[in-house]
Structure 1
Amino acid sequence: MPHLRSRRLTLPLTALTASVLVLGLSACGTSSLATESNSGEKPVVLTTFTVLADIAENVAGDHLEVESITKVGAEIHGYEPTPGDIRRASKADLVLDNGLNLEQWFEQFVNDLDVPHAVVSEGVEELSITADAYAGKPNPRAWMSPLNVQIYAQNMARAFGELDPDHADDYSDRAEAYNGQLQEVQDELASDLSALPQKKRALVTCEGAFSYLARDAELTEKYIWPVNAEAQATPGQITSAIEFVDDNDVPAVFCESTVSPAPMERVVEATDADFGGTLYVDSLSEADGPVPTYLDLIRHDASVITEALTGENS
């Protein structure tokens, strides 16, 4: 389980990086939430993306100010931190990251910042990526299992308790209550997807982001590319997806909200499968959108998958 870590590493000493850090560490007049909070308000917890922020808010309650580095709709794997991000991180009291090689930019992001951080996925039973250059490495999107997020919540409660001992019991109680909600969502997901007949229990997506959900729901997973990268959806990958859909009579395929559906549209054009809908993984939606919270995200994805594969949305 994670404990708060205060680490001071080294960024590449380019002129741009040096100027960013100088700007970030000296910007006492910045009007960010972190600056205001550290002036005598709540301690600031900065997460790497919106899903973690929502989970953290459920555990933190009113005791902490929780923010996300990335905004709604951002693709987290290849994110490039901005000068403003570094300013905010330098003023934070705690930074939370997912780990499992998700935030490849994170090490450099916090290198010269003497700010403690915790890895919220510690203790999760990892699933490995099985294809291409990433084969054998852990699949980072462990939060796509509500059972795993129960571990995330416990890790956050422990980290928050170390940061703010006066409210440690409250964080623990809130994590326990939230885990009850997570169990309800897990039970709903299993119940919804149990309706799928065996021949339709295949989940075909753009990215291999659903390994943990597929495991929990006993679905066969197939994706076009394993991890988002600058060069993705090669002809061979698309051909492999087309063959899988044809061989297994897959009725519907899906793509994630943070990537282009164009490669999956080629699969649809070449097969009898329908495009089943957009799934959410790396980012929540705006408050008035379909997935403003993590619990909404899992419910949305389970509903879209079930309705498309059973033909209920046709």
Structure 2
Amino acid sequence: MLDFITWTADPVWFHIGPLAIRWYSLAFMVGFLVGYEIEARIYRHEGAPERWLGILLMWTVAGTIIGARLGHVFFYEWDMYKHNPISILYVWHGGLASHGGTIGIIIGVILYSLITTKRNPLWTFDRLVIPVALVGGLIRLGNLMNSEIFGHATTLPWGFMFLRSREWNELYYGQACHPTQIYEALCYFSLFAVLMWMYWKKNAEERTGLIFGVFLTGIFLPRFLIEFIKNDQVDFEATMALNMGQWLSIPFVLIGIGLVIYAMRRPRIRIDFPDRFADEDEKPRKKNK
């Protein structure tokens, strides 16, 4: 008889009176705090104004939460929410979509670039997506703590039995399932390491759009493939050749590949790295030849 992993983790970290602090919320908080520090190091390295950081954080947090919520509402369960629109605000009941979060961040960065930096949005994307990859991995660990978004039944020795999950008890009781949250988390953490290496060791930011292109491909191609062994999130996906997550991933993968090709065909932009925050909104300086 195979020994599988019995998963009984409590999704709540601790309580403050009636308020439950969940591991999923902690993953978001830690991700944004660590991400802010990484972004601050990058901005200082390139001599960007420090005040841009707080503004970028606000746009990113708002874009992530609003986009992820609306993505879930419109991509997956509009038939339910259209009858009770006020419930869209009940984010504590769950229901966030990573594709919607990505779209929200893209819109936020474009507005941030137009209003604050006055630079090509790709400048921000190339720097922001580095910590975003880390946040994505942490959020998938939050999904693991919630015993949600797991995969089909498996006989592999690392299969998980999600005893706290109603879905698992109804569909797979007694069977182990793919811990797809861990698969995705490992992909995203690996991507984070690659992007850090590209930025700090290879100066890939000097090829506009390259880091962003690698990010989009590295996030959504694994997502597309892992979806083949994940359970459908909503019933209507059962009739689809590819599920909603896969259809939504395809455009991002194509855009990512296109950005990589675009970046590699253009000349490298040589940039000075003063290792200090700018005193004013100044453009990056080219290296002296």
TM-score (norm 2): 0.27
| Greater share of strand | 1
| Greater share of helix | 2
